[in-house]
Structure 1
Amino acid sequence: MAFLSNFPKAALQIQLKSAGARCFNASTTTQSSKSKKTLAKPNVRNVVLVEGVRTPFLMSGTDYKDLMPHNLATKTLSGLIKRTGVDKDVIDYVVYGTVIQEVKTSNIAREAMLSAGFKDTTPAHTVTQACISSNQAITTAIGLIAAGQCEAVVAGGVEFMSDVPIRHSRKMRKIMLDSSKAKTTGKKLQLLWKAMSPAVWTPELPAVAEFSTSETMGHSADRLCTAFGITRLAQDEFAMRSHKFAADAIQAGLLTDVLPYKVPKVAEYITKDNGVRPSSLEQMSKLKPAFIKPFGTITAANASFLTDGASACLLMSEEKALSLGLKPKAYLRDFVYVSQDPKDQLLLGPAYATPKVLDKAGLSLADIDVFEYHEAFAGQILANLTALESDEFAKKFLGKSAKVGAPKMDKFNLWGGSLSLGHPFGATGVRLVTTAANRLIKENGQYALVAACAAGGIGHGMIVERYPSSK
C-alpha cells in the first residue's frame, strides 16, 4: 500500500504486538472517568435514547431462512413498543437502514411499520450507507428531533442474507424487456434465438465488493493487515477474545436488548445469537485463508459472518420522554462521518472518526469509559488500533503532531462484537449504540464512543452520554 510506504515498519510491529497483547489479556473491569461535565449545548435540544432492542442475530441460512426481512424489522418495532409501553400513536416518524434490499419491500421501514400496526399516517423511509446504515438512521432521527420536526422517532435497521436478490444477466433482462414490446413473430423468434446463448443465462449475484475498485472487502482487509504488519496470530487472538466476551455476556444475562423470536412452525423461541462459538488457537489455526490464498491471514474464524437480524431504538426529545414518565438511558451527543480512499484505506473509518469526534466534543481519550467499535474483521480492528498508536499516521493523515492513542482494551467491546454476535449490515449500528448505553449504566460510566467502518471507505463516530438518573 503506497499510503504506508514511509511508515517505520518496526515501530508498527511493536505497536501491533502491544495492541494484540492488550486485546487478549484485557480485564473486564472498568472504572468511571473523572470528567463530570455534560455535553449539553445552549439552545440545542437534548436527544435521548429511551430504549434499544434487536432480534437474535443468526448466521444466514439457519433458523430465519424462510422468513422475509420485514418480518424481523416488524418484530423489533412491536418489541420496542411493548418494552417501552409507549403508544404507537406517539411515534412521529420511522427510519430504517438496510444494505441489500428485498425488491418487494424496497421501503422496508414503511412496510415493517404497517405490519407492526402503526397508524398509516406515520411517515417512514429507508436509508442505506453500507455497514453504518442504522447509524445513519439514528443520526437522521437526531436531526428530525433537533430541528423540532419530530418529538419521537424510531430508528432501526435490518439485513437478511439468507435470501438475497439474484438477477438475470443484463443481456437477459434486455431480451425480456424487448420481448414485451415485440409485435411480430419474426422479432419474437429473433429474441428467442438471442436467449439461447449460455452466457445470457448466467445470473448476477450480489457481491460484497467495491464498485470503484472491484475488490472485495476481504481482499482489502487482507492487504490492510499486510500494510500494518497484523499477524494471523494476533487476529485469531482477538477473535477468540470477542467470542469469549460474547459468551460470558450471554451467560451473565447482559445482552438485555435481545428479543425472543418465534419462527412459525418452530416449537421453541430463539433467544440468543447463534454465531457465538468460543474456540481455541489450535482449532483456529487449521482454517485456510478465505480471500488471498495461500498467504492471506483472514479466515472464516477471524472475520464477521453473513448474518440475518434487525434492530430498533426509540429516540425522543428529552422533554417528550420526561413528559411521558419515561426513564432515558442516554443522551446521543456529537457525531461525525468520515471518508477516505476506498482502496488502501477502506476500513480505517474508526482511526479517522475517533479523534474527530473527540475533538468535536471537547473530550480526550481518557474521558471515555466505554468503547464500542464495529468488528468487521479482527485485522481491521487491530489495524485501526495500530494507526491510532502511530505518530506517523497522525502527522500524515490526521493533521496532528503526535499519535491519538488507542482505546484501553479493558474498556473495549467487553460484551463481544460483530465477530461473535454477528453483523447484519443494516442493523449493527443500533446494536453498538444500545450496547454502549447499557454498558455505561452497568459499569457506572459517563461517556461512550461508538465507531464503525463501512464499505466505500466511509466511517462513523458518536459520543453517547449516560443519562444522569439511569440505573
Structure 2
Amino acid sequence: MNTSVGNGAATTSGSGVNGRVAIVDGCRTPFQKIGTQFAGLTHLELAEQAVRGVVERNELAAGEATSVVLGSVYVPLAVPYLGRQTAMALGWDGVDGHSAECACATGARTTVDAAYQLLTGEHQVAITGGAESLSQRPLELGDSAREALVGARGDVGALLDVTLRDLLPAPPSVTEPYSGRTLLDHAEEMMVEWGVSRQDADAFATRSHKRAAAAWADGRIEQEIVPVTLADGEVVREDNLVRPDSSPELLARLRAVRPDGLLTAGSASPLTDGASAVLLMSERALERSGRTPLAFLRAWSFTGQDPALGALIGPVFALNEALGRAGLTVAQLDLLDLHEAFSGQVLSNLRAMASEEFAQRHLPGERRLGEVPDAILNVNGGSVALGHPFGATGGRLITQSANELRRRGGRYAAIGICAGGSRGAALVLEAA
C-alpha cells in the first residue's frame, strides 16, 4: 500500500486538563468582491471589526479572552502579526496574540492552535479566525526594477535607465512553487482525472449560489454577520457575490479561463475581502460562564500529500484521518462542508472519497470514505457563491457548520478544506 501522505503535527483530540474545547459563537463581516466596498479597508481593520463583533455579541468582559489567534495569507509588511495587532487595536494590550498560516485552511489552523492552548490550560478563552484584504494585497516590483534599485545603492544616476514599464508592480504569484502551475491548472487536471465535465462544474456552481441565496433569504447567514461601517458612513450588511439568478445556462456562456479549459470565473471562488472570528472556551471556563456553546471540537487533522495525486485532493486524506480519530464514518455525519476553491475540485474530491480503488492505493486502512448524500453537503452554499477571503474562510466554515448543526438538531458535522502546498485540513464538530 502507498499512503502518499504525510501527517501534520501530532493532534490531540477530545479532552485536556480543562475538558473539551467548546465553540461558543462565531461571526464574520460581509464578504465583498475585491475592489468593491471593502477596497479601502486593511486586513487589520477587517479583523478588528470581526473580533469586536464576537466580543459584543457575547458580552465578553475585559480580559476574559486572553488569547487572539488570527491568520492571513497575503501579509503586509506593516502588519506581520495579525493576532497580536488586532488585540492591541481593541485596547487589549495585555492579551497574548499570534498568527498562523495554512493557505485556504488558515482559519482552521488558527482555531486548532488556540484549541491546544485551551486543552493544555495555557488559556481558558480564545478568539480565532482570520482576515484578508485582497484589494490591498502586497505588490512586488518586477525583476528589472528590483535589480536596478538594489544595484544603485543610493546612486540616483544609476536609476536613469529605469523606465516606467520597469516600475510596474509584478502581479502576486498564484503558482505553486513545486510545480510552477496555478491551482486552477491543478484543479483542471483533477477534473480530467476524475471525469468531471464543464457541465458538472457549472451545475455545482449553480447549486452553490442557489443554496447561498436561500440561506440569506431565510436569515441563516444574516445571523452570523457583523455589519461594517465605512468611512463615508455607509453600512455594509450583506455579501455582494451571491447570484440568486445563477443557472447552468448562464454559466455556459462564460469563457473558460484557459483555452479549451473546463473552469470559468463562474465556477471558481472569487477574490474576496473579509474577516471572521470564532469564540472558543475550555469546558471548565464554559461551565463557569454559564454560556451554552454551539458545538464541541471533536477531532481534527492537517495533512500533506504527493502533488501527483492532486494538489487539491487534501480533504480526502484529512477527513479520513480526522473521522478516524473521532471514531466516525461519513455515514454518521449530519453535515459536511467542503471548501469550494473550484466547483470541479469539490466534485473530484467527492469521487475520490467514494472510490474503493483510490482508498486501497492511498488511504491508511484501505477503506473508502464513502458516498456523501447531497442533503448534507454544503447546505448553505460555499465559497464559489459566498466568496473566499483566504484567511477568513476557515472561521466562516466553522461558524456556519456549528450553527446549522444546532438548527437541524444533528450530532456531528465535518469540514474539509483543500490548501495550497498540496495540503488538506479537516475538523469534526459534535453538537453541544
* TM bin (shorter chain): over 0.9
- 1:40 deviates by 4.8
Q: 2:275 aligns with which of 297, 307, 310?
A: 310
Q: Which amino acid aligns with 1:426?
A: G
Give CA-to-partner distance per residue, 1:384-435, whole Å, 9 cap, x none. Answer: 0101111111111114444321321101111111111111101101111111
- 1:271 deviates by 1.2
Q: 1:442 aligns with which of 404, 407, 425?
A: 407
Choose between structure 1 and 2: higher strand proportion: 2
SS across alignment from 1:104: coil
Q: 2:62 aligns with which of 83, 88, 92?
A: 88
5+ long unaligned stretches in structure 2 = 4-12
Give 2:9's aligned residue: none
SS across alignment from 1:347: coil
Would you say the 8 A contact 2:317–2:363 is kept in 1? yes
Give 1:14's aligned residue: none
SS across alignment from 1:88: coil
- Determine whether 1:142 maps to 2:115: yes
- Determine whether 1:201 maps to 2:181: no
Alignment of 1:22-171 (within 5 A): 40-41=14-15, 45-117=19-91, 119-171=92-144
Alignment of 1:129-278 (within 5 A): 129-180=102-153, 182=154, 188-189=156-157, 191-193=158-160, 195-196=161-162, 200-255=166-221, 256-267=223-234, 269-278=235-244
Give CA-to-partner distance per residue, 1:262-300, whole Å, 9 cap, x none. Answer: 112143x2111111003122111101111x31x211011
Hey, what's the Cα distance between the residues in 2 that align with 1:325 and 1:132?
31
- 1:116 deviates by 2.1
Give 2:301's aligned residue: 336
- 1:345 deviates by 1.1
SS across alignment from 2:78: helix
Q: CA RMSD in A?
A: 1.9
Q: Which amino acid aligns with 2:44?
A: H
Measured at CA, do residues 42 and 146 of structure 1 come closer, stay the same or move farther in structure 2, by a change above 3 Å? closer
Identity percentage over the alignment?
A: 33
Q: 2:254 aligns with which of 274, 279, 287?
A: 287
- 1:453 deviates by 0.3
Would you say the 8 A contact 1:220–1:344 is kept in 2? no
5+ long unaligned stretches in structure 1 = 4-38
- 1:325 deviates by 2.0
Hey, what's the Cα distance between the residues in 1 that align with 2:195 and 2:85?
46
Alignment of 1:421-460 (within 5 A): 421-460=386-425
SS across alignment from 1:132: helix
Q: 1:360 aligns with which of 298, 305, 325?
A: 325
SS across alignment from 1:414: coil
SS across alignment from 1:124: strand
TM-score (norm 1): 0.85
Look at both structures and tell me which one has the larger radius of gyration over its CA atoms: 1
- 1:196 deviates by 2.7
Hey, what's the Cα distance between the residues in 1 that align with 2:16 and 2:229?
46
Would you say the 8 A contact 1:75–1:116 is kept in 2? no
How many correspondences in the alignment? 419
Would you say the 8 A contact 2:190–2:345 is kept in 1? yes
Once the two structures are overlaid, the 10-residue window that deviates more, 357-366 or 133-142, is: 357-366
Give CA-to-partner distance per residue, 1:347-376, whole Å, 9 cap, x none. Answer: 101111122111111112221111111111
Would you say the 8 A contact 2:15–2:119 is kept in 1? no
Q: Which amino acid aligns with 2:214?
A: D
- 1:179 deviates by 3.9
Hey, what's the Cα distance between the residues in 1 that align with 2:165 and 2:71?
35
Measured at CA, do residues 430 and 42 of structure 1 come closer, stay the same or move farther in structure 2, by a change above 3 Å? closer
